[in-house]
């Protein structure tokens, strides 16, 4: 600890043995940005493990003797409250004892992309700087206090503090506030609010900091300033620096803007920092749709913020691809409007996009298996957000109230795959993996893109000549596993192979049934629980179980077949006679036959569920109302005739996307997709 005496900034986190890997990753991130840090250990085993890894540790096992050492205990209110008391009081004690100028107390599921000193430069007069659950950068920029979760601005009346990151200068006001926070979590403090809410560390902080401070007033003005809503110096003035008066106007507190310290929704789902080109100082892995720890871990890995992978994780050869899901959904939506006379609902588009993406993923897994490569899929695309706590928003607009992004948007892998499955990383890497710093050399010096060629097109000869000149392999628009292996035989030494512009049915057949079984079983394990959550709610009184069986919409699973079985179906088809043409014929003459036997969206996606018609006497009253909202299939499929003409239009949309593939790949010129 002597090395931290009088330090300018010290990062502090906390752990027990059960969450050790998170503490190790947090410490690795702190080391990467060269900031002093220590971890408070709640048990002796955790303290020993941290010391073994060369991490500075404070052993708080005596104070934390009542806390479980190997499990999470967030769902046990009295233990979680005790944990909050210990972490805050211990961190304050350390700051005072070693006279740190600034302490940054943060959860281990935070990732620091820049040095926290930047925060102090932005707000040099603040006592406390605290992260929030605000989901809208636009609301903060416009000082719009009407946006939910973003009202920690002058004139606002509510708060949404998130104590995953608390920056405390060593000032009397900050020390008093931290001590008061710890006291409110102590054994003698209230355990529930007057409304019956369990008080945890976050609610305890919010109650304290909000006390005597609402509506919020600018700390750029004196604490005793009486603002007038019509005056030029009132609290909503554009001169506001970002500081508020908190805790009975005793402490200057900054609600950290979501582009500076981004919560999980802003960083990983809306991706506002990436889109706006504003790298945040830190991100906090919150707003989980996949509620388990595996969901948090998958998002850190997907965004290259998990630093504990062994070197073998990067040592394989990889196959990556881009798909044409947005182009497909746009064409299907156009066909839908032409045949039904009304726009296609976003949830309907989302379910189609899910079916498309999972089918392409399965086919790409089969290709990767044939090539002996690990697959790196592109980012998944969502047309409808899902959050069971905001189901009314979902069924009305598919968007979450108070956010900035508009659909469609990239979304986390956990929206589509069961990220808790241990075999996932045996066969896949997360999207964005090729952007990892350890993969940059391979991208530059050992990668090749594959050119799709439409054999029936007059451009085919020119495409083949251009590809040969560029050293690029070519594939027919529809290829078998054997075609892929043959086309890439000369490129087995390349670390990264990229396939462009994929759509369902690009892989026509697998070599044998064992491959079909393997990939089908793998996809089932990854997608058996995949779907959309929120058609019904169980908060409508007694006997809601029969309602809730219709709350979840499972995604359409993929379909694979062998080349031999496909040929058998083709030759026995009365429509195509006894043709024995190859399923991957180079001139494309057999595409129509192959397409008819491969993938198509399930009929169920276009047919109103039977239980909708029973709803008058079946669903609870509130769920009846939900079933009438525009994003509910009982509503958007009402009165729809799933006619032969509509089915032909959908098939034509997919065929059009396959024709688009060759042109898209040619225009791309051969750069590798680092999805």
Radius of gyration of the chain (CA): 28
CB 637 within 8 A of CB 479: no
* Chain mean pLDDT for the chain: 88
Neighbouring-strand partners of residue 282: 112, 261
Joined tokens for residue 355:
């079916």
Contact 363, 504 (CB under 8 A): yes
Q: How far lies 599's CA from each of 117, 223, 556, 594, in Å?
A: 54, 67, 11, 9
Six-digit token pair at 197?
A: 């809410």
Residues 6+ apart with CB under 8 A from 614: none
Residue 394 has phi, psi (to 5 degrees) of -60, -45
Give every CB contact of residue 281 below 8 A, 6+ residues apart in sequence.
112, 113, 114, 115, 116, 118, 119, 260, 261
Which of 206, 163, 169 is CA-nearest to residue 184? 206
- Reduced to 3 states, what is the DSSP secondary structure of residue 265? helix
What is the SS3 assignment for 621? helix
Give the Cα separation of 390 and 194 in Å (integer). 25
Question: β-strands 110-112, 531-532: how paired?
Answer: unpaired
Ranges of the chain with pLDDT below 50: 229-237, 541-543, 574-589, 664-675
Count of Cβ atoms closer than 10 Å to residue 639 Cβ: 8
pLDDT reported for residue 84:
96
Q: In what order do the strands lie in the sheet with 161-169?
A: 57-59, 37-41, 9-15, 102-106, 161-169, 128-132, 251-255, 244-246
Please give the pLDDT value at position 672. Answer: 33
Q: What is the pLDDT of residue 437?
A: 87
Please give the pLDDT value at position 424.
Answer: 94
Of 594, 610, 588, nearest to 661 by C-alpha is 588
pLDDT computed for residue 660 by the predictor: 86
Length of the chain: 675
Q: Give alpha helix (H) positions in 71-216.
A: 77-98, 117-122, 137-142, 172-183, 201-210
Tell me the whole-structure pTM to 2 decimals: 0.90
DSSP classification of residue 10:
E
């Amino acid at each position: 600890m002597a090395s931290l005496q009088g330090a300018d900034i010290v990062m502090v986190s906390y752990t027990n043995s059960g969450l050790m890997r998170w503490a190790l990753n947090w410490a690795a991130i702190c080391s990467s940005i060269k900031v002093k840090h220590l971890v408070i250990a709640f048990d002796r085993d955790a303290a020993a493990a941290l010391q073994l890894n060369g991490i500075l540790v404070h052993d708080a096992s005596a104070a934390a003797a009542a806390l479980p050492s190997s499990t999470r205990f967030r769902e046990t209110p009295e233990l979680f409250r005790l944990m909050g008391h210990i972490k805050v009081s211990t961190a304050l004690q350390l700051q005072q004892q070693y006279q740190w100028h600034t302490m940054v107390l943060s959860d281990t599921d935070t990732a620091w992309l820049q040095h926290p000193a930047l925060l102090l430069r932005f707000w040099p007069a603040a006592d406390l700087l605290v992260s929030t659950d605000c989901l809208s950068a636009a609301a903060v920029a416009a000082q719009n206090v009407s946006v939910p979760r973003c009202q920690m601005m002058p004139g606002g009346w509510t708060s949404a503090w998130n104590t995953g990151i608390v920056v405390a200068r060593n000032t009397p006001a900050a020390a008093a506030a931290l001590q008061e926070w710890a006291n409110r979590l102590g054994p003698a403090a209230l355990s529930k609010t007057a409304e019956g809410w369990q008080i945890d560390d976050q609610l305890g902080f919010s109650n304290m900091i909000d006390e005597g401070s609402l509506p919020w007033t600018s700390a750029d003005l004196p604490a005793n300033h009486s603002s007038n809503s019509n005056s030029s110096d009132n609290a909503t003035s554009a001169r506001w620096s970002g500081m508020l008066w908190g805790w009975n106007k005793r402490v200057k507190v900054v609600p950290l803007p979501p582009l500076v310290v981004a919560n999980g929704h802003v960083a990983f789902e809306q991706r506002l920092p990436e889109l706006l080109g504003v790298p945040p100082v830190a991100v906090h892995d919150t707003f989980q749709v996949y509620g388990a720890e595996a969901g948090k871990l998958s998002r850190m890995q997907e965004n290259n913020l998990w630093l504990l992978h062994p070197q073998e994780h990067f040592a394989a050869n990889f196959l990556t691809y881009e798909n044409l899901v947005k182009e497909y959904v746009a064409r299907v939506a156009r066909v839908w409007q032409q045949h039904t006379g009304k726009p296609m609902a976003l949830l309907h588009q989302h379910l189609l996009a899910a079916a498309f993406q999972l089918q392409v993923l399965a086919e790409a897994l089969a290709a990767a298996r044939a090539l002996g490569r690990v697959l790196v899929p592109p980012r998944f695309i969502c047309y409808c957000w899902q959050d069971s706590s905001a189901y009314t928003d979902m069924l009305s607009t598919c968007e979450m109230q108070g956010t900035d992004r508009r659909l469609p948007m990239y979304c986390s892998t956990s929206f589509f795959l069961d990220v808790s499955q241990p075999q996932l990383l045996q066969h896949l890497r997360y999207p964005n993996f090729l952007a990892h710093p350890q993969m940059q050399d391979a991208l530059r010096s050992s990668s090749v893109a594959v050119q799709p060629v439409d054999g029936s097109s007059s451009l085919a000869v020119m495409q083949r000549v251009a590809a040969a000149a560029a050293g690029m392999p070519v594939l027919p628009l529809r290829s078998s596993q054997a075609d892929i292996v043959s086309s890439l035989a000369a490129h087995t030494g390349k670390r990264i192979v990229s396939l462009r512009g994929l759509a369902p049915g690009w892989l026509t057949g697998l070599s044998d049934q064992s491959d079909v079984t393997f990939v089908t079983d793998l996809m089932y394990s990854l997608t058996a629980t995949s779907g959309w959550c929120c058609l019904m709610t169980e908060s409508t009184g007694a006997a809601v179980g029969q309602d809730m069986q219709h709350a979840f919409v499972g995604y359409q699973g993929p379909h694979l077949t062998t080349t031999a079985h496909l040929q058998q179906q083709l030759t026995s088809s009365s429509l195509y006679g006894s043709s024995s043409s190859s399923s991957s014929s180079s001139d494309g003459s057999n595409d129509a036959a192959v397409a008819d036997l491969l993938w198509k969206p399930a009929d169920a996606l276009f047919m109103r569920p039977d239980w909708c018609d029973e709803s008058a006497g079946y669903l609870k009253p509130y769920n009846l109302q939900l079933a009438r909202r525009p994003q509910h299939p009982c509503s958007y499929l009402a009165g729809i005739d799933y006619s032969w003409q509509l089915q032909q239009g959908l098939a034509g949309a997919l065929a059009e996307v396959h024709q688009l593939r060759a042109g898209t790949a040619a225009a791309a010129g051969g750069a590798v997709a680092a999805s």
